[in-house]
Amino acid sequence: MKAFFENDRFAMKAGVEIMEIGEGYATARMLVGPEHLNAVGVCQGGALFTLADLAFAAASNTQTETTVSLASNITFLRAVSDGYVYAEARRMADHHRVPFYEVRITDERDEIVAVLTASGYRKHKPQAGNGY
Amino acid sequence: MKAFFENDRFAMKAGVEIMEIGEGYATARMLVGPEHLNAVGVCQGGALFTLADLAFAAASNTQTETTVSLASNITFLRAVSDGYVYAEARRMADHHRVPFYEVRITDERDEIVAVLTASGYRKHKPQAGNGY
Amino acid sequence: MKAFFENDRFAMKAGVEIMEIGEGYATARMLVGPEHLNAVGVCQGGALFTLADLAFAAASNTQTETTVSLASNITFLRAVSDGYVYAEARRMADHHRVPFYEVRITDERDEIVAVLTASGYRKHKPQAGNGY
Amino acid sequence: MKAFFENDRFAMKAGVEIMEIGEGYATARMLVGPEHLNAVGVCQGGALFTLADLAFAAASNTQTETTVSLASNITFLRAVSDGYVYAEARRMADHHRVPFYEVRITDERDEIVAVLTASGYRKHKPQAGNGY
């Protein structure tokens, strides 16, 4: 599965690395560098979103089902401008069609940087094609 | 102001271009290519988020004030895998500290691709340093 | 259809009135009185949510399909403590399973009080029983 | 403090009871009855929102500061039509102006019914008047 998500070109280019994938669970990280910064010198919200979204995808997709992100809510709690940020995605509810996940992003001191909650939409078909 | 936002390295690297900046209003676009695609072959949510976030930043920042994104809610309505996507950010409420914006992302056929709503937090200080 | 929603006991008890129901569209109103106020003397967020939710339900349900609210995001933009508040729900995207609506709540001076966005989940079955 | 929140007329009328208030933490409950049901016979989203909102208010307000709800995101995960529902509010981040809370609503079997995340806005003034 890890190899599968490494086909996510946008996330890979952003420097996101998947660390762990379990049942309804995944972790990822990203080393914040100059290329992630916005106009005021802190990590762009889109970079943090990309990290969280990949962790969500890794936690929610399996070999037989595709879960796409439907609605995501992200709250930015702390600015970061360097160092690793870590995302931990966890399934909180397992509705057959619309599972719900929470992803917490923390920094190297384990302070919360952002929290994303995502409602997914589960499709019972193979992960292939341009599927969503 | 346009030059200022072109310092957003993450958004620039993602291919986002600012088109127009007005009072509480901005538009931006991004040409979706292979580098934006995720593991199932459609534009990554983080790429769309980055586009929307830059449009929000351009609409909400002025020469004397910085508005940072506090909480953003994005709903993905249609998958795209190529062509331009356009973001139009518009201020919907002008609370002195916590303005509210809506950003609509559309495709080349003017179909809605995603909607982001964002609560900003306005700081009365110059846009410089690692300010947020 | 209007009679159907008047079976929403919680919304009726809160004083919500449906005004208009169209295709993917509905309006409702509520006269804010002492019974809607919270501990600091302004209209409780739950009362405004109830108003918005009924407008969403009226806009999104038809005689052959039930659409339930899946994820709702509400932003409170202006406190109100008396007078009418009006909700206007509008379908913004028509995904076959997961349509997306926006509801704007305004006061008597047409100022925006709150904005709710809601992803619904459409069930192809009659509106009856305890269906959701 | 408990007495203070019992001035929330809308929440009291909806049957919400505060159970516990701590530092950045509170619990509340509501016994779902016929008066909470919507047109399809399940507990109205607005009733669950009201329960969650009061738990958030109880967790986030202190004798010297008022925190109002700014943006709330609620995801409905399981329909309930009777029995107690419990809300547990917990502060997840403590930004000086914009703290972030999560409220989980569970049913009598400890299944998750809904999750609300809320960004508050903290005002350094006494909790009185029509203050928000």
Instruction: Provide the number of CB pairs (under 8 Å) joining chain B to chain C.
Output: 36
Out of A96-105, B29-38, D17-26, least confident range: A96-105
Q: Which residues from B are below 8 Å from A75, CB to CB?
A: 70-72
Report the residue from C46, C72, C79 with minimal CB separation from D50. Answer: C46
DSSP letters, C22-53, are ETTEEEEEEEE-GGGB-TTSSB-HHHHHHHHH
The answer to whether position A55 is within a domain reads yes
Is residue B130 pLDDT above 70, yes or no?
no
Kindly determine whether residue C69 and residue D45, on different chains, have CB atoms separated by under 8 Å: yes
CA distances for D65 relative to C98, D59, D77, D130, angstroms? 40, 12, 33, 14
Residue type, C73: N
Domain assignment present for B103: yes
- Here the CATH number for the domain that contains residue A104 is 3.10.129.10
**Is residue B130 one of the residues assigned to a domain?**
no
Q: How does the average pLDDT of chain C come out, rounded? A: 89
Q: Is residue C130 part of a domain?
A: no
Inside any domain, residue D112 = yes
User: % helix / strand / coil in chain A, to the nearest 5?
Assistant: 20, 45, 35
For A32, nearest residue in chain B (alpha carbons): B10
CB contact, 8 Å: D71 with chain B? yes
* Contact list, D73 vs chain B (CB under 8 Å): 71, 73
Whether B107 maps to a domain, the answer reads yes
**Sheet containing strand B112-123, strands side by side:** A16-22, A25-32, A83-93, A100-106, A112-123, A66-76, B66-76, B112-123, B100-106, B83-93, B25-32, B16-22
Range of the domain at D26: 2-123
| Lowest mean pLDDT segment, chosen from B51-60, C64-73, D51-60, D77-86 | C64-73
pLDDT of residue D125: 54
| Interchain CB distance below 8 Å, D98 and B70 | yes
The two three-digit tokens of residue D3, written as one number: 């007495």
| Exposure string over A60-98, b if 16+ CB within 10 A, otherwise e | bbeeeebbbbbbbbbbbbbbbbbeebbbbbbbbbebeeb
Q: Which residues of D touch A92 (CB under 8 A)?
A: 77, 112, 115
Q: Say yes or no: C62 contacts chain A, CB-CB below 8 A.
A: no
> Within the 11-40 window of chain A, which residues sit less than 8 Å (CB to CB) from chain C?
none
**For residues C8 and C6, what is the distance between their CA atoms, to the nearest angstrom?**
5
Give tens-digit pLDDT for A27-86. 999 999 999 999 989 999 999 999 999 999 999 987 677 888 888 999 999 999 999 999
Q: Which of A8, A14, A73 lies nearest to residue B39, judging by beta carbons?
A: A8
DSSP single-letter state for residue B11: H
Give the nearest chain B residue to A66 (CA atoms).
B40
Q: Is the residue at C131 inside a domain?
A: no
Tell me whether residue C132 is in a domain.
no
Higher pLDDT: C70 or C83? It is C83
- Check if D131 contacts C (Cβ < 8 Å): yes
Handedness of CA A68, A14, A37, B26 (dihedral sign): negative
Contact D10 C49 (CB under 8 A): no
H-run or E-run covering B127: none
- The reply to whether residue B92 touches residue C100, judged by beta carbons under 8 angstroms, is no
> Shortest CB distance from A41 goes to which of B37, B79, B129?
B129
Token code pair at residue C70 = 């899946």
Q: How many domains does chain C have?
A: 1
